[in-house]
Structure formats: structure tokens, C-alpha cells
Chains A and B, each alone.
Chain A
Amino acid sequence: MKEVINLPVKNIEEEEYHINMGPQHPSTHGVLRLVVSLQGEIVKSLKPHCGYIHRGIEKMCEKDTYPQIIHLTDRMDYLSAHINNHAVCLLVENALEVEVPERVKYIRTIIDELNRIASHQLWWCSFGMDMGGLTCYFYGLRDREKILDIFEESFGSRLLHSYYTPGGLMMDIHPNFQANVKAFIKYFRKKIKDYDDLLTGNVIMQLRTKGVGILSREDAISYGVTGPSGRASGFACDVRKHHPYGVYDKVDFKEIMGTKGDTFERYMMRMNEMHESMKIIEQLIDNIPAGDYSAKMKAVIKLPAGEYYQRVEASRGELGVYCISDGNKTPYRMKFRSPNFSNLSALDHISRGVKIADLVAIGGSLDYVIPDIDR
């Protein structure tokens, strides 16, 4: 009898166990599977499993001509579709050394910033929902709808636009475009106060995010965390500021920087970026120069043989496009350095030692879009 009593009893509190978060979990915002190793409810480690929505966009690019590649990049980070298109267009234009009309540069910059606001609005509402506030979701989507209406009137589609082409734009902006954008800015300046009242100042949300999921500056650089998530840690990585494209060198805007690198700081980065984006649009919207909406391009675009790299600031971080051309009308190899993939790689490091409920908050603040991770 004595031996039976002395058998080692497994202590349930010390035992590690694994749970699957996703691929069908609402807080992963798509089909991302996280295998979380838990001790009690403390996260010990975490393994993201990607590939559930892999479509082989990089491989598909190898059979497509350069104008055809544009519509594939829409489908990577669908919330910043215009900015993805911009990256490929800039790559082709810089490789061919085409001078794009000033009008195109102004319009592209305005639309990029509108896209960034729309993306941050959707992030805000889904982050609020992750924190348990469903009201945020409705308010965020309501305001995003205003931007989507502007897009729909001007380019005909709401999410996947394919509006930029190498050398310019598909068509000129709609005559109502400028008035609509100005009306939106006026509207949204009022509504963004609701956002602060509803979620930013909320005690429950602040307690759940302040001091949770800290990413240091060194780690942000070594993991390659860019965009608002990287800047929250004090990593000055705004491509618009440091390697300007479009007309970002002509406008006055601040690179929003944080110091703490916790979840709340990442939240504040995006809230402040919406204000900065509105500032950029206001400076440009009245000064769009007249001119052509597209440069003259050849019917068949062939890049000279060589390697090209172009980066832009997408709404979640730095998007890089790397292209090897062998002189044909299709690229030999196309590689996208997507911001979400690098940001996801830091998730394991950030979330070690936090509670499982905080993992949802951290994931929400990193703001990953799964089709961009898998491509």
C-alpha cells in the first residue's frame, strides 16, 4: 500500500499542454493557426502555422506580364490594396526610368493615405471587438464605408481596385473626388473623437493593454517588425519619411514614434497615424496639378535584365518587392517582403509569459492580415 501512496502525482499546474488557436478563431482575423503551449493559462511558447490561404502569388507573377501583376498584389494585403499596387508600379517605373506626371503622384499619394485611414479604421473596429466591445465594430465600419464610397465612385470597386497601372492610373479621378474627400475629412475629424471616448479612454481596455506584450527596440529591429508596430518600440522605420516616394517629400507630416512598445503604444500609433494621414490629404487635395493621368508607356512592357527592389510603407509596415528580370515581358522571379509575415514572427517572442487572454490583445495590436502572410 505504501508504494501506491508514494507514486509521483502529476501536478496539473506545472504540466504544459498545447491548444490550437485557429484556424477558425475569430480573433486571428483569418485562417491563421497558432499552436499555443500553455502552463495553466500562461503562454509558454507559440508556434504559428501558415499556409492555409497560400495561393502562390509569387509563382503566378512569373507567368503574368507587369500590368497583369498589379491585380494579384491587391489580393495580398487586401486592406491596403492601393499601396501594394503602388509598390509594383514604382518598381516598373523606376526600372524603365519613366517620368510619371506630377498629377499622378499627387493622386496616388492621396489615395494611399485614404487607404491607410480605411485600413486603420478596420483595425480599430476589429481590435475593439477583440477586447470585447462590439460597438466599436459598427462605428469603425460605418466610417470606413465613407471612404469605400469614395473609392467606389472613382474606381468602381470597394476593396480590390487595380487602379494604378505602370506609368499612371487606369482612368482619371471622378469629378466629385476632391469634394468627397474634403467632406470625409471634415466628417471623420468629428467622429474620431468618438473613438477616443469609446475605446482609448476606457479603463478596461487600458488595463488589458498597458504593459502587456512589450517588444523592445532591439527586438523590433532584429525581427524586422515595421510599420506602426515597429514604431511603437522606437524603431524609426517609416519609408515615407526616410525613402520618400510619390510626393511625400513635399508634404509636412510627423513620423509617429513611441517608446514603450507595449500593446497600448501600438494602439496609439495607429490612432495618431490617422490624424497624420488626414493632415497629408488636406495639404494635397486642393493642389492636384492639371495634366495627364498616365505617362506614355509601350504596349508591351519589358524590363531590362537585372535585379530591382522597391519598398513602400503599407498600412502595416514596409512592403518590399524584389524582382529579377531576364529581359522578357514577364519577370523571372518576383518576391514580396510582406510586413505581416515579419510582424507575425515576433508574436512568439512578445507573447511569452502573458496570459492567454492577452494573446488576443497582442495579436489584435499587431494587426495581421493573413492573406499577406501566406501570399
Chain B
Amino acid sequence: MNSIFEYFADIFHTVKSLLTGMKVTGRYFFSPGEIVTQQYPENRKTLKMYDRFKGEVIMPHNDHNEHRCTGCGICETACPNGTIEIIQARIDMPDGKKKRIIDKHIYHLGMCTFCGLCIKACPSDALAWGQEFEHAVFDRSKLTKTLNQPGSSIIKDIVE
């Protein structure tokens, strides 16, 4: 008699627990307001990343095509992966002295682990995070970027 009672109690508890779970799924099924899925890429035009989002390392330039990089190479040594390559150039100053400036700031995006040490290490705040995140390309060589724009120069008030 007892075992029959337990048998039916088991069935009751099983059905009850399953219904409790189905109540949860049913509630979401009938309340479309709770849907949180983002319709990417349809929402690309309205999609805005957070200010601090780490998309890629960029070198901000002002309106006169000037940047803040002195070419000191501290970011190159701070990088754990060899992502950054600094190529320096020597120019003749008007007073006859030779000065080293940045020729190319090469950034290998494919090797970057987005740790942010280069940006933290930079003494003249020349580097920053960019918000671009759609980095897929068909050719690996396109992941190597030159951060200083062609023909750009250094902002005058930056001291080395």
C-alpha cells in the first residue's frame, strides 16, 4: 500500500517540477518585451561602443595632420608580443643639429593581445584606443598598419 502511495507521489512531484520549469520558459515565450538579443549586423548604424572599448590601438591626429608621437620607442619595449615596430628617421634641424623623429609607427594588429601596456607606458599620450572592432580581412598583410598618417608631423609643444 505504502509503495503504491510513493509511486503516485513520485509521479506528482515529477509532473510538478517539470511544470515549474515550463512555467519559466512559458513566461518568456509570452513576454516578448524580455528579448535582449541584439540584431547585429542590422543595427550597425546605431551600434555605439563604450568610450573605453578596446578595439584597436590608434594614434589620434589633429586637424593639421599632427600627432603627439616622438618616436621614443617606449611602447615598443612595453609591448609583450612585439606588436609595435618603431622606425625612426633623422632630420636636419635649422641650427645644424640632427634630430630623431618618427618615420613609421608600425602596428601589427594580428599579434596584439589588447593588454593596453603601450598606451599606459606612452609618456606623451600619443596612443589611444579606437572603437573599430570589425577587423576581418581577406589578407593577413592588411592587419599590419602604419599608425602615423602619411605626411604627418609632431605637435610642436611636445618635448622629448
A residues lining the B interface (CB < 8 Å): 64, 67-68, 70-72, 135, 142, 145, 152-157, 160, 162, 165, 170-171, 174, 194, 197-199, 201-204
Contacts and interface: CB of A to CB of B under 8 A. Distances in A.
A101 to B, nearest CB: 17
A156 B25 contact: no
- Chain B interface residue number, banded: 20 to 34
A160 B14 contact: no
A160 B24 contact: no
Contacts of A199: 21
Given A197-B21, A201-B17, A201-B21, 15 more contacts: A68-B80, A68-B115, A68-B117, A71-B80, A72-B80, A152-B50, A155-B52, A157-B53, A162-B114, A171-B52, A174-B52, A198-B21, A198-B25, A199-B21, A204-B18
A64 B114 CA distance: 16
A64 B78 CA distance: 10
Contacts, number: 65
Contact of B50 (A156, A165, A201): A156
Given A156-B52, A157-B114, A142 B36 contact: yes
B50 A153 contact: yes
B90 interface: no
B20 interface: yes
Interface in B90-118: 113-117
Given A156-B54, A162-B116, A64 B21 contact: no
Contact of A162 (B14, B53, B115): B115
B142 interface: no
A203 to B, nearest CB: 5
Contacts of A203: 13-14, 17-18
Interface of B: 13-14, 17-18, 20-21, 23-25, 36, 50, 52-54, 78, 80, 113-117, 120, 129
Contact of A71 (B13, B23, B25, B113): B113
Contacts of A67: 78, 117
A162 B116 CA distance: 8
B36 A198 contact: no
B52 A153 contact: yes
A152 B54 CA distance: 9
A373 B13 CA distance: 40
B113 A160 contact: yes
Nearest to A145: B36
Contacts of B50: 152-153, 156
A160 B114 contact: yes
Contacts of B117: 67-68, 71, 162
B11 to A, nearest CB: 10
Nearest to A142: B36
Nearest to A63: B80
A71 B115 contact: yes
A198 B54 contact: no
Contacts of B52: 152-156, 171, 174
